[in-house]
Structure 1
């Protein structure tokens, strides 16, 4: 996957969710695949570019929902929204966990 493809996913899902991040960036991250700041910046580990499309899509939607709900928490509202947009998110989360942490993605 390319950074441009991730940007396209962000744009498509941002429109679907009605949220518009102020900035999207990529950097080396040691312990996270992605993060959403309270100011609306999405930061993705460069390592997500090695992950399958469906897993990257899950990561994108996950972070956009954090912006939508205005909280870093994974509370009931967060999980309900995630389930409504990505019904199989739990399987995708398990798949993501099967990869090593950012900085050492397993083949």
Structure 2
């Protein structure tokens, strides 16, 4: 069965609500790839973080190719669902993949008025 049994995506994310010190559960997000010929972002998948702030299955190994990607996190909706306002309606993290044989972890740390990200392991 090979890669069809593989449960992990080559791109993973983990969103943490640093203001409250908890995982950011039920945050909507989407993964996109840039078409270098047209400069248009193509939607690959949509999802939502689980109770641990993770969103498994963003992309399959077969569909993962070198190029420019972005994850759009719907932070405004997330804070609204908690009955709070925030400064950023969404956060887009754009990154370039040159070696699709590797795995890439893209964490997002959010509070109502700030965010940060880094390439994780």
Q: What is the TM-score when the length of structure 2 is the normalising length?
A: 0.29
Q: What is the TM-score when the length of structure 1 is the normalising length?
A: 0.32
Q: Which has the larger radius of gyration?
A: 2
